[in-house]
Structure 1
C-alpha cells in the first residue's frame, strides 16, 4: 500500500461562533423534524417517534412553504464567514430546486421501485431502537400510523393523476407487487411483530398485543395502497421516458450541478469502453492470455477460497473488512474522528437485494450502518465482487463522508450536518473512494480489482441507459439502432453487468422510474476527479492528497457546484 503524509489536525476544531445564517439553517431543521417524524428518526432527533409523515397534498405543501420561508429568512442575513457563504449557496440551490419540483407537480407523482413512500414508510422502522419494552411499544404505535400515512399518500397520487402526472405503468405494477408483499400475512410487518425480543426474551404481554395490532394495521394500510395503485394503473402511461425538460430538472436535483447531458451521454459510452478494456487486461492476469472477462469471472466464482457460505459468514466478513479499512486509513490517509471509527455491518430484514448505508444519529448513540438485503434463496457470496462494496458503503466511502460531516457540530450547522444530502456528491464520492482504494493498493489482487471494475462498469452503463432512454437518444447499432427504450436497454444492461437476472431487472426498473439518479454516481465521480485535478494543477508542488480530501469532506454533502465554489473560488 502506498502512503502520503499524515493529515494535519482538523482546522476549525475549536467551536465556531454561531451566526445568523446558522440560526436560519437550524430553524429550518427544527421545522423539518416537526413536519417529518421520519426525518427526525433518521437524524436521531427526539419527538413524535410513533408518528409518520403526512404525505397528503396539504402535508407536501407544508414542506414547500417551509422551504420558501427559509429562503425568505436567508435573504435578510449577511454571511459572516466562509461557512456561512457555503451554507447560503447550498440552501438556495437545494431549497430552490425543491420548490421548483413542487411547482411542477412532481411531488404528487412520487412513485417508483426504490425511493418513494412505498419504500420509505417501511424503511424507517429499520432505524428504530429495539432494546426495551418502551422502544417496542413505540414501534407498535408507529405501525398503527401506517394506514394514515398511506391514505395521505394515495390522496396525493390521485391529485397528481387528476393533473396528468402519473408514474409509468411499469413502476405502478412493480409497486403493486411490493405493496401486496407488505400486506401479506408472512411479510415484514408480521415478522417484525413476531420477532420482538429484549435480551432474548419476549416483551411484556401488553406490548406483544400492541405489536400484533400494529402489524395488522400496517398490513391493512399496504393492502389499501395496492388497491389504490390498481385503480391508478389504467391512467398510467406506457412510455417510460420523461423527456428532456423534466430530466434536466431531475438531473440538477441529483447532481447539484448543471451538466451537458448530450456530452455526458457520449462520455458514458467512452467510459464504458475504457472500463471493459481494463477488465480485459485483468482477466488475462487471472486466467491467462486470451481469456475473456466472463471466463475469468466464472473461474473466480468457482474458487472456494473466495466464497462465503450463509449470511452469518457474510456479516462477519463485511464487519472485518470494514474494520480493517478504518484501522489502515485512520491517521495515514484520513483524519477519522473516534466516533466515526465505529461502523456496524448488518443483514437487512428485507430481501430486495439492495446494499445501502444508514447514517449515525447526531450524537452517535446509533452508529452508522451498512445493510445488505439478501434475496431469498441466496446463500453464497463472492468476496472478489464485494470488497469494493464495503469500501463504497464504509470507509472511505459513505460512512467516512457522512460520519465526518455529522461529527463537525462545532463548525457546521444542523442543516449542513444532517439534512443536506446530494446524490452526486455522496454517491460520486463513494465511487471515487473505490478507485482511490485501488490507487492506495487495497485492490492489488487482480480478482478484487476486476470486481471493483465490474461495479464501475455497471455505473457507466447506467449513464448510457438513463440518459439514452429518458432523452430518446440514438441507440448504437449493436444494441438495436433507432431510439433507446426499455426493450433495447435490457440486452445492453445484461451484457455489461455480471450479476443475477433478478438484480438486473430491478436495476433497469429503477433507472426507468427514478430519472437522473443512477447517472449521478458516475457523473459525481467524474466531477470529484476533475475537482481534484484542478486543485492539483492550482497548488502544484504544494498539493497534498490527504489535505485535499479533508478539506473537501469538511464541506459536507452539498451540490457539486457548491463544492466547487467552496474549494476553488
Structure 2
C-alpha cells in the first residue's frame, strides 16, 4: 500500500482524544488496543463508573455537533460515531450495562481475560501484572454493586446466567486450580525467577484476585440468585435494541427469522450433495462426518500438532492471497497461532497493538481431555479467524494510520460487520478454490449450518415465537432450542451446552454472524449491479480493499459509505 497520507482533521483529533478518554475509563480497553500507561489498573465497574462512560459518550456526540466534516472519511466518522455511541447510550439508559452477566462476555470473564494480552517479558511487566491483580478486587466489588443496582431497579438477570457466573467465579477462586495461581507461578522476568519482593507481590495479587472471585460467587449465590428470573427470553423490545447494537443496522426480525429457516434448509441440501459426492448417493450427512472422523487421515493428535497445523494453514493462506486476491500489508502478514490458557472450547482472535509490536493472534481454547482434532472441520475456522477473515479485516484497518483516526482503526468494533465479514470470507475461500476437498467443504457448510440455526434459535427463543411443526410446533424455549441445536450442529455436547447458554444470555449476538454475512453479500451484490449498469465488471480485490478501509462500522453506515 503506497497511498498518500491523509492530513488529520479536527474530527480525527476529537475521535483520537475520545479513545484516550475511554482507555483511561476502561484500562481493559487500553490493554486490548495496546495503549500504554494503564496496564497496572482495572476499570470502575460500579454504577458511578458506568455513568462516567455514558457521560464521555454524550460529550463526544455534543462535540461532533460543533465539527464540520472535511472530507468523506470525516463524514463516515461522524455517521459511525453517532450510530455507535448513540446505541451505547440507549443501552445505558435501559440499564443493560449494569446487569451484564453471562457465560462468555461479561466482567466475570473480561477481568480475567485481560491478563492474556499483557506483556510478561520483564520485571517491569510483571510488576504491572501484580498491581493489576491487586486492583481486581475493587473492580469486582464495583461490578457486584452494579448487579445489585440493576436488580433493585427490576432489571433482573436470568438464573441460568447467574449459575454460570457462580461456576466460573468459583473456578477462578480455587487456589489449587485457579488461573491466577498458574499465572504468577509462571513468572520468569527476563528468563529468571522474580526477586523476592516481586514474587511476594505476585503471590499476594493472585491470592487477592482469587479471594475476590470467591466473594463474587458468594454474592451471586446469596444475593442475586434469589432475585433472578427463570425466564431466558428477553422480549422484543430488549432484543431489538441488542440486535441494532450487534449489527449496526435495523432489520425486520420476523423476516430475518423466516430467512434463517430458509437458509438452514438450503445449507442442509448443499451438505447432502457433498455427502453424496464423498461416499455415494444416499449417504447421510451425519454418517459422512462419522466416516471422515473414523478414517483418521484428517485427524491431528495433541495440542502442539493442532497449533502447528493452525500456523502452517494460516501461513499458506497469507502466501497465496497476498497480492493476488487482497492487498495485505507486510505487518499484517504475521499471524500468531496459540493454544489458549483457558479450556472453554472457544476459538477466537485478538487484534494487534497499534504499533504491531503485539501481533494479531488466533487462540484455541481446548476443553479438558480433548486430544484429537479434525482438520476437515476446522480448515474453514482458520480462514475465519485468520486470513482473509478477522486478521486481515482487523489488521488492515489497524495498519491504515495514514487514512483513519484511532477510533476508526482500533476502537470501533461491530459484531455484524466483523463476524459477518469472517463468514463472508469462509464462503469466499470456497469460491476461490481453497476448499476443493469435499471434506473441507463439508466442514465449512457445517459451520454455516450452525450459524443459520442460531439465527432461528436466538430470535425464536427471545421473541417467544412458535417453532415450525418440524421442530415441535411449540413455543421456543431452552428445551426445544437444545434439541434443535443438537440436530443442526455436529459437535461435542459439552461445547453445544456452553453455546446454548451463550445464546440465551447474550441476545442478538449469535445471529449477527449470519445476518452480517447476508448484509455483506447484499452490499457486494449492489456494487456488482452498479458496475454492470456501467458496462463494467466489479473488481473484487479493489472492492474488498475499499470496503475494509472503511473499518468496522455499523452495516448501515458501511452500505452508505460504499455507495
Quickly name the TM-score band, shorter chain normalised: over 0.9
Matched, 1:543 2:533: no
With structure 2 as the length reference, what TM-score do the two structures score? 0.98
The whole-number CA distance in structure 2 between the counterparts of 1:201 and 1:329 is: 41
Instruction: Please report the RMSD computed on the Cα atoms of aligned residues, expressed in angstroms.
Output: 0.9
What residue is the counterpart of 2:430 in the other structure? 438
Question: Paired residue for 1:310, among 298, 302, 306?
Answer: 302
Matched, 1:90 2:80: yes
The whole-number CA distance in structure 1 between the counterparts of 2:195 and 2:520 is: 52
Question: Paired residue for 1:421, among 385, 403, 413?
Answer: 413
Secondary structure of the residue aligned to 1:336 is coil
What residue is the counterpart of 1:355 in the other structure? 347
Question: Paired residue for 2:548, among 544, 550, 553?
Answer: 553
Superimposed CA distance per residue, residues 88-118 of structure 1 (whole angstroms, 9 cap, x where no aligned partner): 0000000000111101111111111110000
Matched, 1:232 2:224: yes
- The count of aligned residue pairs is 558
What residue is the counterpart of 1:504 in the other structure? 496
Superimposed CA distance per residue, residues 17-70 of structure 1 (whole angstroms, 9 cap, x where no aligned partner): 111111111111111011111111111011121111110000000000000000
The whole-number CA distance in structure 2 between the counterparts of 1:228 and 1:359 is: 34
The whole-number CA distance in structure 2 between the counterparts of 1:135 and 1:23 is: 30
What residue is the counterpart of 1:26 in the other structure? 16
Question: Paired residue for 2:511, among 507, 514, 519?
Answer: 519
The whole-number CA distance in structure 2 between the counterparts of 1:199 and 1:544 is: 49
Question: 1:77-226 residue pairs with structure 2 within 5 A?
Answer: 77-185=67-175, 186-198=177-189, 200-226=191-217
Q: Is the 8 A contact 1:340 1:399 kept in 2?
A: yes
Could you tell me which runs of 5 or more consecutive residues in structure 1 were left unpaired when the two chains were aligned.
Answer: 1-8
Q: Is the 8 A contact 2:158 2:230 kept in 1?
A: yes
Matched, 1:378 2:370: yes
Superimposed CA distance per residue, residues 453-499 of structure 1 (whole angstroms, 9 cap, x where no aligned partner): 00000000110000000001111122221211111100000000000
Q: After the TM superposition, list the runs of 4 or more consecutive aligned residues in structure 1 that deviate by more than 4 angstroms.
A: none
The whole-number CA distance in structure 2 between the counterparts of 1:243 and 1:270 is: 23
The whole-number CA distance in structure 1 between the counterparts of 2:83 and 2:250 is: 11
What residue is the counterpart of 1:14 in the other structure? 4
The more displaced of 475-484 and 86-95 is 475-484
The whole-number CA distance in structure 2 between the counterparts of 1:222 and 1:207 is: 23
What residue is the counterpart of 1:6 in the other structure? none
Superimposed CA distance per residue, residues 121-165 of structure 1 (whole angstroms, 9 cap, x where no aligned partner): 000000001111111121111111111110000000000000001
Structure 1 residue 199 displacement after superposition: 5.5
Q: Is the 8 A contact 1:287 1:295 kept in 2?
A: no
Question: 1:267-278 residue pairs with structure 2 within 5 A?
Answer: 267-278=259-270
Secondary structure of the residue aligned to 2:97 is helix
Structure 1 residue 323 displacement after superposition: 0.6
Question: 1:268-347 residue pairs with structure 2 within 5 A?
Answer: 268-347=260-339
The whole-number CA distance in structure 1 between the counterparts of 2:83 and 2:399 is: 24
What residue is the counterpart of 2:559 in the other structure? 564
The whole-number CA distance in structure 2 between the counterparts of 1:133 and 1:301 is: 46
The whole-number CA distance in structure 2 between the counterparts of 1:166 and 1:390 is: 38
The whole-number CA distance in structure 2 between the counterparts of 1:520 and 1:48 is: 31
Secondary structure of the residue aligned to 1:106 is coil
Secondary structure of the residue aligned to 1:371 is strand
Matched, 1:63 2:58: no
Superimposed CA distance per residue, residues 332-381 of structure 1 (whole angstroms, 9 cap, x where no aligned partner): 00000000000100000010111000000000000000001100100010
Question: Paired residue for 1:37, among 18, 27, 30?
Answer: 27
Q: Is the 8 A contact 1:265 1:463 kept in 2?
A: yes
The more displaced of 497-506 and 128-137 is 128-137
Q: Is the 8 A contact 1:350 1:374 kept in 2?
A: yes
The whole-number CA distance in structure 2 between the counterparts of 1:166 and 1:211 is: 36
The more displaced of 47-56 and 475-484 is 475-484
Secondary structure of the residue aligned to 1:370 is strand
With structure 1 as the length reference, what TM-score do the two structures score? 0.97
The whole-number CA distance in structure 1 between the counterparts of 2:450 and 2:131 is: 41
